[in-house]
Amino acid sequence: MASIGLDNIVKAYGSLEVIHGVSVDIEDGDFVVLVGPSGCGKSTLLRMIAGLEDITAGTLSIGGTIVNNLPPKKRNIAMVFQNYALYPHMTVGQNMGFSLKLGGVPKAEIGRKVQAAAEVLGLSALLDRFPGQLSGGQRQRVAMGRAIVRDPQVFLFDEPLSNLDAKLRVVMRAEIKSLQASLGTTTVYVTHDQVEAMTMADKIVVMNEGRVEQIGSPLKLFNTPDNVFVASFIGSPVMNFIPGIVTTAGTGPTFLSGDLRLPLPHLPHGVPKETDVILGIRPQYWRRDPTGFEAQAEVIEPTGSETQLELSMQGHRLTVVLHEQLEVRRGDKVPLLPDFDKMLFFDAASHRRIA
Ligand SMILES: Nc1ncnc2c1ncn2[C@@H]1O[C@H](COP(=O)(O)OP(=O)(O)OP(=O)(O)O)[C@@H](O)[C@H]1O
Ligand SMILES: [Mg+2]
């Protein structure tokens, strides 16, 4: 087990720079998730930690030692890929023990380690099967077993669940999380799925175009995103963003956007008056209230316990999730009140959060 330090890491392919100075401190035993849109550099960063890509500039340390020039084999890292990369002609047991065999570990010890890992992963009965005789989830477990037997100081995962169906993903997500917690092995996990990031991570690193947008716990990123990018990336459905201004001209503190007037209980601290801002409010932070603002339902999506609505409110498109079953039809008027304490304000020019 070990800490990992990324200090101002840069990656260029020829003249094309794709990682522009990324710094992240990962503590021993942490479960860190790198999340961001396709092409933002997640896999590249992970491959640099594994030693599969050169580091153009900056320093990478593992366990306090700089490893920029250490070959992958010497880093004591195990990586699990999206496609599992199992050997089809080897049994489950042989697949799991293969790296140990290559490393010259005695046969009896390989057997013991494979048995132990198989037990943890619920694969004991499947050791003599071939990968082609396994379900997707079982294959995923074998790929993890192969990583576990090596008893590495770091686990790296690159989208390990993306080939599984939605239900199995949820199961495996919990399995990986609890396995990591019991082994206590420092883990870096890459995904573009923010739900996976939220549910699995101790700490999330949100990346965008080769840069880090924000690092923090799942709830920190959800409650206090640094900017519009993080606010829109974390949370589902996506946060509502309404450009406008805050003014006290007239009756009292009010958010104005075209025909939409939202009276505010007080002037939000840190928000300059009469200046272009973006109001952000999550779909979950609205409720039905007879004194609310009228919105017209456009799309109604009941999920059983909740109702998700797309509405138009004074010319603005709004997504709302109500924690109730609702008999609403397209075109119906729904009076809605936002939770003022949950409103976020961003500077319209820089997109940084100001309140
Ligand atoms: N060998 C390469 N040569 C040139 N450019 C590359 C190479 N590998 C990756 N890139 C570029 O680097 C950027 C980051 O790629 P990377 O694979 O790290 O993205 P990612 O965040 O893992 O995306 P995804 O979610 O699609 O897997 C992309 O713009 C990609 O085109
Ligand atoms: Mg990738």
- Report CA(211)–ligand 2 centroid distance (Å): 15
Ligand 1 atom closest to the CA of 45, numbered from 1: 18
203-208 and 31-35 beta bridge pairing:
parallel
Ligand (nearest to CA of 18): 1
For the CA atoms of 149, 152, 154, 155, what is the dihedral angle to 10 degrees? -20
CATH number of 4-226: 3.40.50.300
Largest distance between two CA atoms of the chain: 83
The C-alpha atoms of residue 232 and residue 41 are separated, in whole angstroms, by 19
Average pLDDT (270-291) is 96
Residues 6 or more apart whose CB falls under 8 angstroms from that of 288 comprise 322, 324, 326, 334, 335, 336, 337
Checking if the pLDDT of 85 tops 90, the result is: no
- Report CA(286)–ligand 2 centroid distance (Å): 36
Which residue's C-alpha comes closest to atom 30 of ligand 1? 39
Q: Is 160 in the pocket of ligand 1 (CB under 6 A)?
A: no
For the CA atoms of 184, 189, 193, 198, what is the dihedral angle to 10 degrees? 30
Question: What's the pLDDT at 250?
Answer: 77
- Ion ligand 2: residue ranges with CB closer than 5 A: 43
The pTM score is 0.93
The C-alpha atoms of residue 223 and residue 225 are separated, in whole angstroms, by 6
Q: Is 38 in the pocket of ligand 1 (CB under 6 A)?
A: yes
The C-alpha atoms of residue 166 and residue 178 are separated, in whole angstroms, by 19
The C-alpha atoms of residue 61 and residue 68 are separated, in whole angstroms, by 7
Which residue's C-alpha comes closest to atom 9 of ligand 1? 44
Ligand (nearest to CA of 19): 1
Contact status, residue 126 vs residue 92, Cβ threshold 8 Å? yes
Q: Is 162 in the pocket of ligand 1 (CB under 6 A)?
A: no
Checking if the pLDDT of 196 tops 80, the result is: yes
Ligand (nearest to CA of 22): 1
CATH number of 240-347: 2.40.50.140
Structure tokens at 325: 């079953």
Q: Render 35-77 in DSSP notation, one character per residue.
A: E-STTSSHHHHHHHHHTSS--SEEEEEETTEE-TT--GGGG-E
Average pLDDT (109-135) is 94
Domain segments of the chain: what residues?
4-226, 240-347
Task: Point out the least confidently predicted range of 1-15, 183-197, 249-263.
Answer: 249-263
Checking if the pLDDT of 84 tops 80, the result is: no
Ligand 1 atom closest to the CA of 37, numbered from 1: 25
Q: Is 208 in the pocket of ligand 1 (CB under 6 A)?
A: no
The C-alpha atoms of residue 43 and residue 52 are separated, in whole angstroms, by 10
Average pLDDT (270-285) is 97
**Digit-coded pLDDT (tens) for 50-66:** 999 999 999 999 999 99
Q: Render 5-22 in DSSP notation, one character per residue.
A: EEEEEEEEETTEEEEEEE
Which residue's C-alpha comes closest to atom 2 of ligand 1? 13
- Report CA(36)–ligand 1 centroid distance (Å): 12
